[in-house]
Structure formats: C-alpha cells, structure tokens
Amino acid sequence: MSIESQVVSPARFSAQIRSHALQTRIMDLILEQGLDVGDALPTESELAAVLGVGRNTVRESLKVLQALGVIEIRHGFGMFVAPNNFSALTDGLAFRGRLSLRHRGEEAMELIDVRQALESGLIGSAIDLMTEEQLGDLRGTMELMEAAAQAGKPLAELDAEFHRKLYAPLNNELLINLMDVFWKVYRQIHRALGSGPVDLGEQARVHWEIYQAVADKDKTLASERLQRHFDGIRLKLKDVAAR
Amino acid sequence: MSIESQVVSPARFSAQIRSHALQTRIMDLILEQGLDVGDALPTESELAAVLGVGRNTVRESLKVLQALGVIEIRHGFGMFVAPNNFSALTDGLAFRGRLSLRHRGEEAMELIDVRQALESGLIGSAIDLMTEEQLGDLRGTMELMEAAAQAGKPLAELDAEFHRKLYAPLNNELLINLMDVFWKVYRQIHRALGSGPVDLGEQARVHWEIYQAVADKDKTLASERLQRHFDGIRLKLKDVAAR
DNA sequence: AATGAGACATTGGACATCCCATCTCCTGTA
DNA sequence: TACAGGAGATGGGATGTCCAATGTCTCATT
C-alpha cells in the first residue's frame, strides 16, 4: 500500500518511518471501518493485537494521534474519533515561536504576517456575507470589551472572540481554527516574555474602529484598519522582544 | 509553576492534562536549558529520572513532540531539537480532510478557501518584493513544468515548487510551510479519492498565465488569475467527491 | 602513516507483565 | 423513582528485559 511510499532518506530515519506507518495504519483503519466523529475505536489491547505490535507501542502512536487531534482518549472509557481540534498546532508553533525569540523573533513576526494577510485579505468576503444578526453579535462582543476595558480587566479572550466572530460569516471552520491557533500562540509567546504595559482603552478603540468600518460595509477601510491593527501588534512584539 | 495552570475541565480529562503537562515540561526544559536547534536532549532514561516518571511515559510524550516537529529522534544516537517541521499538520489535516469527504467534503473545500485567500491576498506583496533573479527562477520552474506537461509526466511536484517560489520573496518560512501543508493535504486527499483525468496542458497554461501577470508586475491580474486557478481546483475536487 | 574491519558502549525501539486510576453502567436499596 | 455503590472494562503508568541502530574506538593490515 502507500504506507511505505514516503521514503525520506536512506535508513537514517527508518524508526520514524515505522512509527509514522503505524499511525497511518490506525488512521486508515478508522477510515476503512467507516468510523465517524464520535465513534469508538477498538481498545488498546485489540488494536495491539490487530496491528501485531505491543500495547506500549500502539499507545505511543495513539498518543500522537491524540496530539494531532485525530482521536480523543478518555481514561477508563475508550478512544473516539475526535471532532476538529487544532491544539496540536498551537503547541508546536508556540514552541517554535519562543525558540525563535531567543534570536531575533523572526518566527513570531512571520506569524503576525500570516495572520495579517489572512484577516485583511478575507475581511471583504466576510463583510459581504455578514448578516444583521452576526453584526449585532459582533457589536455585543465590542460592548463587552468596552466594559472590560473600563473595568481594567484583560481583554485577551474578548479580543479572540471579536476576531472569531468577524470571520464567522465565511463559515469556514478551518480558518477559524487557524486564526485561533495564531492568536493562542501569540498570547503564549507574549506571556512567556512577560507582557509590557497594556493600554486597554487604546486596544478597545482600535477594535471599535474596525467594527465601525465593518458596520459601514466599507471593505477598503476595514482592511486598512485591520492592517494597522496588526502593525500595532507587530510593534508591541518588537518592543517586548528587545527586552 | 505554570504547568498546572491550564485547567480545562473538572477531572474528565485529567489524564490528558497530565500528559500534556509532561510535554510542556519537556519543552520548558529545552527552553530553560538554552538548547537550540540541533542541540541534544538528555537521554530517555535521564529525562525519565529528572521528570520523575517512567521511561515509557516519557517516551509517549517524546513521540508526541517528535510528531509536533519539536524534536528529532535518532535511533541509537539521541534526541535533538528539530528544525522547523510541519509534517504534523499535514497528517492531522489530511485525516480530517479525508474524513470530511465522506460527507460533503466541506473541510477539503475550506482548505482550498484558506489557501486561495492566502495566496491571492499575498501575491501583491510578493510581486513588490520579487527580484529579477527570483523571477528568473520562477520562469525556470515554469519551463520545467511545460516540458513535463508535454512529456506527459505528472506536474504535482513542479506545481508545488511554483507556488513556493511565488512567495519566496516574502521571506516568511511559516507561510511557505503552511502553503506546503495545504498543498500536501490536497494531494493526499486527491490521491485517496483516485484522481480523475487530468489535462496537463491546461494545468501548465494556467500557471503560465499567472507567471505572465507576475512578470508584468500586474498585481490585480495576478490576484485574479490565482483566484481563478483555485476556482478550478475547487471544481475538480467537487467533481471527484461526487464520484 | 593511512585505512578499513570489527568490537564495544550508548541510546532508542519494542514488548510483556503487573498494578493503579478512572470511567460507565447496572444493580440494589431506600 | 432516585440515589448510592459496586462490578467490570478500559486507559494510565512503572519496571524489567531484550533487540536494533549508531557512533566511536581499537587494532590489524597495508
């Protein structure tokens, strides 16, 4: 089959290939048996028997699949095909980001660049597709953010929610997940560095401006303000990275 | 420490939390010890001792970190901090894509949407930053593609290379990696479904048109042609999914 | 002195076994 | 009917043993 088709290099990584092959076999098994999200997998012991490997070995692969968001493991109950879950990317990316910050923080910047491109590039379509209800929802989040800012509470979660709702009209879960990952990674890096002073009022104001442009259906302005929003984030990150 | 700070839910996922915490501890250990890409980690046994868990348990976490592209494991030699590696996302996403194709192929479509947004949104900046040399490089790839098309050879790899080189000027590794992942996932899904007939000449022609717009520094046209390129891909995918 | 074969230590890979922790579900009791 | 608690199943984890791959070092050969 296609399991062994991805030859990477002579035999230097044969172990990795075997291990990866086992993961692939489990995923193929899921697909072949027609299992869907929420369905239960065979038990660890059964899998070990079926795949002809030891239970510990199969467990290593299962843990990987869990980390990749493919399966969900519930102690004492069983294993199940997982719903979409991008936490894997978060951890991996956050690690790379923190690692890079010890140099010149390039990867963290790249992350912002990608997010900026995605968001400012897609805001047009989002505005086109946004319903009145969704707009109202967005405004609700803004009002919560305003209240939080005045109360001196952190805006992080509301910030994420704002961006999530901004692109909800596109009805693209992958996109939402990706943006969520980027946001979390940024937060994690920021937290690891020890955030500098934050101006809550300013933060809320920037989002209000974006909201206004969206409410006015002014795609160009919205895109432009999003660009500036990310420019600001980039500057702040550069500040913090400079220590 | 911050290890136990991420409480998710009562105790239903306590095992996952512990497991995730162990991974985090290992990553933190890498960062705290100032290890950089290529540096060696302690041996499995040492890690197990330091972290106060069994070797099997540590191994499960290490395998996860390997899958996430954080470390590289070399049988008989040791474990090392890995260079950027996004293969993890590929596997996870490809699985989800294939799973979704059994329904209406939504996730595969979402993938195309994101890629379309990213590429057509960033082509402008790429054109701005592209040097003569990079443009020549791009043309070289196109000529190879043309030759391959006339020889009836598959264009897949050259297709990927074209898109990679298109955005090389942005100097954003994360972006390149992401696009690479999307491309691989698309390929994998396509292969899993059994590709229909492909018109190599048409495929090459589309890319020539994009190249021409880029060479002419016509951002609008390039963006438009990229859009259409992806529209084509989307249609083809819909065809195949319909079986 | 240069080279190559082979022994050796180290390290990860795999497995078997044993026991613990947690969950769900069923049963019995109030 | 509601609730408490136990039974059984399942994953979590530790330990020990052996296998396999790798790099290095030694030593004989040239």
- On whether any CB of chain B is under 8 Å from the CB of A39, the answer is no
Let me know whether B219 and B119 are in one domain: yes
Domain end, chosen from A16, A46, A81, is at A81
Distance, C-alpha A119 to centroid of its chain: 14
Top-ranked range on mean pLDDT: pick from A113-122, B55-64, B192-201: B55-64
Let me know whether B11 and B104 are in one domain: no
Distances in Å between the alpha carbon of A74 and those of A9, A25, A41, A180?
37, 21, 11, 24
Let me know whether B150 and B66 are in one domain: no
Q: What is the mean pLDDT of residues A182-207?
A: 82
Let me know whether A71 and A92 are in one domain: no
Cβ-Cβ contacts under 8 Å, A99 against chain B: 30-31, 36-37, 81
Instruction: Report the pLDDT value the prediction gives residue B233, as an integer from 0 to 100.
Output: 86
DSSP-assigned beta bridge partners for residue A73: A79
Residues spanned by the domain of B134: 87-242
> What is the greatest pairwise CA distance in chain B?
62
Let me know whether B73 and B107 are in one domain: no
Which bases of chain D come closer than 7 Å to a protein CB? 8-16, 20-23
Classify each residue of A97-136 as buried b or exposed e, where b means 16 or more C-beta atoms within 10 Å of its C-beta. bbbbbeeebbbbbbbbbbbbbbbbbbbebbbeebeeebbe
Mark residues 9-38 of chain B whose C-beta is closer than 7 A to nucleic acid strand C: 11-12, 14-15
Let me know whether B45 and B25 are in one domain: yes
Domain end, chosen from A62, A81, A100, is at A81
Let me know whether A96 and A202 are in one domain: yes
Instruction: Report the pLDDT value the prediction gives residue A10, as an integer from 0 to 100.
Output: 39
- On whether any CB of chain A is under 8 Å from the CB of B11, the answer is no
Q: How many CB atoms lie within 10 A of CB B135?
A: 17
Let me know whether A77 and A110 are in one domain: no
Let me know whether B159 and B213 are in one domain: yes
Let me know whether B220 and B155 are in one domain: yes
Domain end, chosen from B49, B81, B113, is at B81
Q: What is the mean pLDDT of residues A125-144?
A: 96
Give the ipTM of the model, two decimals please.
Answer: 0.84
- Comparison of pLDDT for B117 and B226, the residue scoring more: B226
Residue A67 phi/psi, 5-degree rounding, is -65, -30
Report the domain count for chain A.
Answer: 2
Length of chain B: 243
pLDDT category of residue A12 using cuts at 50, 70 and 90: low
Percent pLDDT > 70 in chain A is 91
Rounded distance in angstroms from the CA atom of residue A54 to the C1' atom of nucleotide D18? 14
- Comparison of pLDDT for B196 and B167, the residue scoring more: B167
pLDDT category of residue B212 using cuts at 50, 70 and 90: very high
pLDDT of residue A7 exceeding 50 = no
In the three-class reduction of DSSP (H, G, I as helix; E, B as strand; rest coil), residue B74 is classed as: strand
Helices marked H in chain B: 14-32, 44-51, 55-67, 87-101, 106-129, 132-150, 156-166, 173-193, 200-215, 219-242
> What CATH number should be reported for the domain holding residue A98?
1.20.120.530
Let me know whether A150 and A211 are in one domain: yes
**Would the CA dihedral through B198, B204, B205, B206 be positive or negative?**
positive
pLDDT of residue B3 exceeding 60 = no
Instruction: Report the pLDDT value the prediction gives residue B12, as an integer from 0 to 100.
Output: 53
Let me know whether A140 and A163 are in one domain: yes
Instruction: Report the pLDDT value the prediction gives residue A225, as an integer from 0 to 100.
Output: 95
Q: Which residue of A has its CA nearest to B90?
A: A68
Cβ-Cβ contacts under 8 Å, A91 against chain B: 20, 23-24, 27, 68, 70
The region of weakest confidence among A5-14, B21-30, B43-52, B62-71 is A5-14
Instruction: Report the pLDDT value the prediction gives residue A101, as an integer from 0 to 100.
Output: 74
> What CATH number should be reported for the domain holding residue B70?
1.10.10.10
The region of weakest confidence among A3-12, B26-35, B222-231 is A3-12
B102 CB-to-strand C distance under 7 Å: no
Q: At which residue do the structure tokens 């540590």 appear? A: B58
pLDDT of residue B168 exceeding 80 = yes
pLDDT in tens, B37-70: 999 999 999 999 999 999 999 999 999 999 999 9
